[in-house]
Amino acid sequence: MRRIEIYDTTLRDGSQGEGVNFSLYDKLLIAQQLDNIGVDYVEGGYPLSNEKDEHFFQRAEKLELKHTRICAFGMTRRRGVTAEEDPGMRALINSQAAAVTVVGKTSDFHVAEVLRVSAEENLAMIAESVACLRAAGREVMYDAEHFFDGWKSNAAYAERTIRAAGEAGARMVVLCDTNGGSMPEEIAELTRAALGVLEPLGVAVGIHCHNDCELAVANSLAAVDAGASQVQGTINGFGERCGNANLISVIANLAIKKEGYQVLQGHGVEHLTELSRFVYETANMHFVPGQPFVGPSAFAHKGGMHVHAVSRAAASYEHISPEMVGNERRILVSELSGRSNIIALTTKHDIQDDRALMDKILSHVVDLENRGYQFEAAEASFDLLVKRCANTFTPHFDLIKYHVNVETDKEGQLITEATVKIRIGEQVRHEVAEGDGPVNALDAALRKALNGTFPNLEKMHLVDYKVRVINSEAATAAAVRVIIESTDEQDVWGTVGVSENIIQASWIALVDSIEYKICKDEQAGESAP
């Protein structure tokens, strides 16, 4: 087994992605999570660039890390000054990070047009920067920026740059596909060429790929197969432009799909889904449903033929068991579903042997989806549909009427008020409430009417509200679909409503959400009617 180091740059390179921003606290939490699954290096940032990164290294010293080495990132010394005098070099050393990655130019084009120094001065900048950091007792990795483009442009000079870093004491030279434009066969060929230069010096080779051609993961794997022993990337592929190599996919492929490699201290792969979603949540970003291995849709099955096959042999439509990466299988229901979907989703109701009922449920699903309903994100509404078809559902309250009023006061401020009148058994409740909008006001008024009978509703709250126009060609008369996501202390569930009236669609989804909560508590013996 050849061990491949995992070097995470989510906190530096990943934070350069559009819409990604981490607080100091976020960065410390993510570093701790990366250590928990066994990542080898976590790049915390450039300590000279901003106070947040400087403070990160001060706080990171106090983290109780089991596996991870915190790494500082910086550039080679500036032209015209010694490495010892360069403020960037001093900041890297003062960060107290045990490992340092320093980036330098490989391409003679960049040396001349970007740095505007001579070819020899660039070589001196690389060698002296690495030597300075080594003299300060730091483990040094050298990022060869634009390596592949530089080698293709001027192989002789590119070789001199990585040789300068290796001879000066870099433990690892990392080959960077900075523009993200290289193909896997090029990556493999030039990785082998770099190894031919560096292996005699006892210097290892790493790979750092960007995803501009949707090949960052494939290129990283190609480099590993060619001899690279470290992969740099980010969780979920965050990064500038199209992002970096997604370490979630790199790790899963190396640990599960390919043979002969060991990553993450030999464990931790089963926590990849948890890690991926933690980073999304910390960055305040939505999960990518179709993200390989860890996305909510990665092991979701919708077509009836697929579900039928998976129910008999999971491997028929799943390349690995979802549990291997901490994910789960999901069976979706839609107009594409067959009886197998319904059977899979109704197991807890113990009705799978009732063929007529299965057909009835499927017929209702098809009919409702023709009217604009979708149950993929509304499993609670589907659960209630099943109970209604099976005649095992009794509403806990009946609507008499509701009314929503929106007006402005003399200061021009909007006031939204909802009145709800319902019947619970023989008792009529009539309540009014204000809210931030019509749905919020309806929710508040309905809760006031129900809370005395169903006190557990106080533990439930809405966490998401989505509206989608179904038939946009109908303009303002178009039907809308409302999805409401709710949660309590244990679960999260979704409900759906459809109507030409957005308030009515919201009411349908809201009532389903509350009915589901009450039913769930009754089954758990928690409700007090």
Q: What pLDDT band is residue 334 in, cutting at 50, 70 and 90? A: low
Contact at 8 Å (CB) between 236 and 288? Answer: yes
Percentage of the residues of the chain whose pLDDT score is greater than 90: 68
Q: What is the largest CA-CA distance in the chain?
A: 92
Q: What pLDDT band is residue 528 in, cutting at 50, 70 and 90? A: very low
pLDDT score for 527: 47
Q: What pLDDT band is residue 289 in, cutting at 50, 70 and 90? A: confident
Q: Closest Cα partner for 511 from 401, 399, 430, 391? A: 399
Q: pLDDT per residue over 104-120, tens digit each?
A: 999 999 999 989 999 99
Is residue 333 pLDDT above 90, yes or no? no
Q: 246: which DSSP letter?
A: B
Neighbour-count burial of 397, counting CB atoms closer than 10 A to its CB (0-12 exposed, 13-18 middle, 19+ buried): buried
CA atoms within 13 A on the CB side of 452: 9
Query: Cα–Cα distance between 202 and 165 in angstroms, integer?
Result: 12
pLDDT score for 343: 63
pLDDT score for 7: 98
Q: What pLDDT band is residue 529 in, cutting at 50, 70 and 90? A: very low
Report for 350-354, 401-405, 461-465: range of highest mean pLDDT: 401-405
Query: Cα–Cα distance between 278 and 288 in angstroms, integer?
Result: 13
Query: Cα–Cα distance between 399 and 415 in angstroms, integer?
Result: 24
CA atoms within 13 A on the CB side of 447: 20
pLDDT score for 509: 95
3-state secondary structure 373-426: CCCCCCHHHHHHHHHHHCCCCCCCCEEEEEEEEEEECCCCCEEEEEEEEEEECC
Q: pLDDT per residue over 270-282, tens digit each?
A: 999 999 999 998 8
- Hey, what amino acid is at 467? V
Q: pLDDT per residue over 366-410, tens digit each?
A: 788 788 888 877 889 989 999 999 899 999 999 999 999 988 888
Q: 210: which DSSP letter?
A: B
Q: What pLDDT band is residue 357 in, cutting at 50, 70 and 90? A: confident
Q: Closest Cα partner for 506 from 389, 514, 428? A: 514
Q: pLDDT per residue over 130-144, tens digit each?
A: 999 999 999 999 999
Q: Which residues contact 113 (CB under 8 A, 6 or more apart)?
A: none
CA atoms within 13 A on the CB side of 118: 4
Q: Which of 17-26, 29-38, 232-241, 475-484 has the lowest mean pLDDT?
A: 475-484
CA angle 55/59/63 to nearest 5° reads 155
Q: pLDDT per residue over 488-513, tens digit each?
A: 878 889 999 999 999 999 999 999 99
Query: Cα–Cα distance between 364 and 375 in angstroms, integer?
Result: 12
